[in-house]
Structure 1
Amino acid sequence: MSRNVIRVGDDYDVVIGDDAWDDLPGLVGERAQRVLVVRAPTLPGPAESVRRALAGAGLEVIDAAVPDAEQAKTAEVAAGLWSLMGQHGFTRTDVVVGLGGGATTDLAGFVAATWLRGVPVVQVPTTLLAMVDAAVGGKTGINTAEGKNLVGAFHPPVGVLADLTTLRTLPRADLVAGMAEVVKCGVIVDTTILELVERDPAAALDLDGPVLRELVERAVQVKADVVAQDLRESSLREILNYGHTFGHAIEQVEHYAWRHGEAVAVGMIYVAELALRAGLLGQADVDRHRAVLTSLGLPTTYADGQWDDLLTAMRRDKKTRGSLLRFVALDAIGSPTRLEGPSEQQLRAAYDAVAG
């Protein structure tokens, strides 16, 4: 199948295709001598494909397996990678490659951003979530005990390679969870995404069919267009956080036992219910959120009894200003806006609507 190249502003390309490993050395560039491959521990096939492609181009490949999922995003893991780079004499022309899901690409980008005040990074996402969200856009970070992604840097990659064959390595639950970020792109910008899912939810998750690839390409295009206009999340880019304020709170309260996409799915229902109570969004659009997510097998409820902890976590969200809670909301499907300072009654009522 042919490759599709999506340009992110004037900065870098996202290459989407099948068995596209030979494109990797071109993204790394000619100046590099060494490549640190930061990878998830459960990817022997893609890791070997990356190693062969880079070594075949004459590059020294330094393999660095890191813990799985959010356990990778700690200061201790980052410090271990900095030490490894120092031992191998990493210079500013050498390159970090992030191979794995969103947590791995977040970590790899952060390590690249901070070594010698910035070395190039190429992201090679292997999950649906990472392909359509984490690996594109240059937001990098690690977690602290106080919250998710509170320490980080904006550090755009020099290229992204989304090889769709790696999606076959995913457990079904991870593929489904990744669809939450695809749906997010549909409700904030590209409503054709929602129409494709509504027409045939099974086709949207079919690895052998054309619909999933179109959904990936559309979601990446949404993110590329937004990021190109607002790299540092000063205004427009905040819309990509739709559903994330409540979603990140769930992740923190659940000690990251929930998949990110599952938490964001519930987060989208929460903010839709909040927008309804604030007079921004109609009931039909709230119902459409719930129907699309349910059709894909994503959760739309969260167990009652955690409100105080969730509210505390939301107050730490990076969109908060002082004591003012701020949410990305909608005033219609495809029309994002901001909701600032909702009342305690509205916040609690929206929670009651998602408490299962």
Structure 2
Amino acid sequence: MTVRTIRVEGAAPYDVVIGAGVLGELPRLLGPGVRTVAVVHDAGVTQVARPLEAALEKAGYRVHALAVPTGEAAKEVHVLAGLWSSFAEFGMTRSDAVVGVGGGATTDLAGFAAATWLRGVRAVLVPTTLLGMVDAAVGGKTGINIPEGKNLVGAFHPPGGVLCDVTTLMTMPREDYVSGLAEIIKAGFIADPAILDLVEDDPEGAATPSGPHTLELIERAVRVKAEVVSADLKEAGLREILNYGHTLAHAIEKAEDYRFRHGHAVAIGMVYAAELAALAGRLSADVVARHRSVLAATGLPVAYGAEAWPALRATMTIDKKSRGSTLRFVVLDGLAKPGRLEGPAEELLEAAYKRIAR
């Protein structure tokens, strides 16, 4: 069995363990002194959560299983409040831990619950989706949604460890798996073009968990994120590059009432950012074209409705990357050469959107 361990450095270092059948690493990542474990799991992944809970009980932990709604419905204030109440009911102390099992929404919620309970308890995350493995579970960002926007309420709370068991990906619906692939492709554009080569070499294989390069694609994407967040946990500068494509993506998600797949929105957002950079004279036409070709080859969308622009533009104003009234975009000055575009003219913003409108 191939197991890859990636160390995320910083004030609170932790391991990301990637491989098949790695859930047995959980007690090690929980660390010494933990007695009570709250297993916060997506109600749709009981086939992963139950054996994990049984193993923890056998290892001597007091285990409390807490099921939460599937997907973005988990990241609601009332769900979070329910977790807090449950923690209080079973006397969870500062030396205990939360284990989050599920997709990115579940690990975001579980991480935020851990960050805010008694001002911070240990969290170990077990992502069961591709998006969760390569994006949400790594980096210490936690949060919930409110009607005004996605992830506007949250905290930086590095986990005690992350377990990426690739066998959990095998039952993912294809569209959900491909959605996660968008974040891997993003890592290729901002830092590791070898990812793009692997996807282009076999786009059909990249779009399925049984593909020949699955483990390498996951490892490469996690390494990109690990290197960035090791240097900049709290998005003071460098970490912003991980938001490539996300300014428009978050606006699309809000317009769709969070029923639009995150990776699909990011794919569209990356094409938009590429067009914006090209219009600003910073990116060549061939790199813009490569955005469209590599994303479309895996089945990801590269366009959005023409009539949506006014609402999307209004939503982008409150994007977390904005500073005051200045809108900021992560753009590319070439492959693996990310930069920032601050306060672009309205005409430029609209012209770029017209290029992705359908």
Task: Please classify the TM superposition score into its range, dividing by the shorter chain length.
Answer: over 0.9
Q: Which moved more, 1:243-252 or 1:36-45?
A: 36-45
The size of the alignment, in residue pairs, is 356
Using the alignment, how far apart are the partners of 2:340 and 2:210 within structure 1? 38
Aligned residue in 2 for 1:305: 307
Aligned residue in 2 for 1:205: 207
Aligned residue in 2 for 1:121: 123
Q: Which moved more, 1:158-167 or 1:5-14?
A: 5-14
Using the alignment, how far apart are the partners of 2:324 and 2:234 within structure 1? 20
SS at the partner of 1:4? strand
Aligned residue in 1 for 2:9: 9
The one-letter code matched in structure 1 to 2:40 is: V
Using the alignment, how far apart are the partners of 2:54 and 2:19 within structure 1? 18
Aligned residue in 1 for 2:278: 276
Q: Which moved more, 1:237-246 or 1:8-17?
A: 8-17
SS at the partner of 1:346? helix
Alignment of structure 1 residues 87-98 onto 2, 5 Å: 87-98=89-100
Is the 1:25–1:53 contact (alpha carbons within 8 Å) kept by the matching residues of 2? no
Using the alignment, how far apart are the partners of 1:186 and 1:278 within structure 2? 22
SS at the partner of 1:210? coil
Using the alignment, how far apart are the partners of 1:261 and 1:208 within structure 2? 19
Using the alignment, how far apart are the partners of 2:274 and 2:106 within structure 1? 30
Aligned residue in 1 for 2:298: 296
Using the alignment, how far apart are the partners of 1:260 and 1:323 within structure 2? 25
Q: What is the RMSD computed on CA atoms of the aligned residues?
A: 0.9
Using the alignment, how far apart are the partners of 2:97 and 2:207 within structure 1? 34
Aligned residue in 1 for 2:179: 177
Distance 1:209 1:296, change over 3 A: closer
Q: Which moved more, 1:337-346 or 1:204-213?
A: 204-213
Are residue 237 (structure 1) and residue 239 (structure 2) matched? Answer: yes
Using the alignment, how far apart are the partners of 2:252 and 2:278 within structure 1? 21
Residue 254 of structure 1 deviates from its aligned partner by 0.7
Give a deviation string over 1:96-146, Cα, whole Å, max 9, x none.
Answer: 011011100000010000000000000100000010000000000001111
Distance 1:134 1:345, change over 3 A: same
Tell me which of 316, 322, 326 is aligned to 1:324.
326
Using the alignment, how far apart are the partners of 1:143 and 1:203 within structure 2? 34
Are residue 47 (structure 1) and residue 54 (structure 2) matched? Answer: no
Using the alignment, how far apart are the partners of 1:108 and 1:49 within structure 2? 19
The one-letter code matched in structure 2 to 1:348 is: E
Is the 1:21–1:49 contact (alpha carbons within 8 Å) kept by the matching residues of 2? no
Aligned residue in 2 for 1:141: 143
Give a deviation string over 1:164-193, Cα, whole Å, max 9, x none.
Answer: 000012111100100000000000000000
Residue 2 of structure 1 deviates from its aligned partner by 2.1
Is the 2:41–2:68 contact (alpha carbons within 8 Å) kept by the matching residues of 1? yes
Using the alignment, how far apart are the partners of 1:51 and 1:309 within structure 2? 44
Tell me which of 21, 32, 35 is aligned to 2:34.
32
Alignment of structure 1 residues 56-71 onto 2, 5 Å: 56-71=58-73
Using the alignment, how far apart are the partners of 2:183 and 2:274 within structure 1? 15
Residue 61 of structure 1 deviates from its aligned partner by 1.1
The one-letter code matched in structure 1 to 2:95 is: T
Q: Which segments of structure 1 move beyond 2 Å, counting only runs of 4 or more?
A: 205-210
Using the size of structure 1 for normalisation, the TM-score is 0.99
Using the alignment, how far apart are the partners of 2:347 and 2:44 within structure 1? 45
Is the 1:3–1:15 contact (alpha carbons within 8 Å) kept by the matching residues of 2? yes
Is the 2:178–2:208 contact (alpha carbons within 8 Å) kept by the matching residues of 1? no
Aligned residue in 1 for 2:219: 217
Aligned residue in 2 for 1:227: 229
Is the 1:245–1:327 contact (alpha carbons within 8 Å) kept by the matching residues of 2? yes
Using the alignment, how far apart are the partners of 2:177 and 2:18 within structure 1? 17
Residue 53 of structure 1 deviates from its aligned partner by 2.2
Using the alignment, how far apart are the partners of 1:186 and 1:49 within structure 2? 35
Is the 1:21–1:53 contact (alpha carbons within 8 Å) kept by the matching residues of 2? no
Gaps of 5+ in 1: none
Residue 209 of structure 1 deviates from its aligned partner by 3.9
Residue 48 of structure 1 deviates from its aligned partner by 1.6
Give a deviation string over 1:168-224, Cα, whole Å, max 9, x none.
Answer: 121111001000000000000000000001111122234334301100000000000
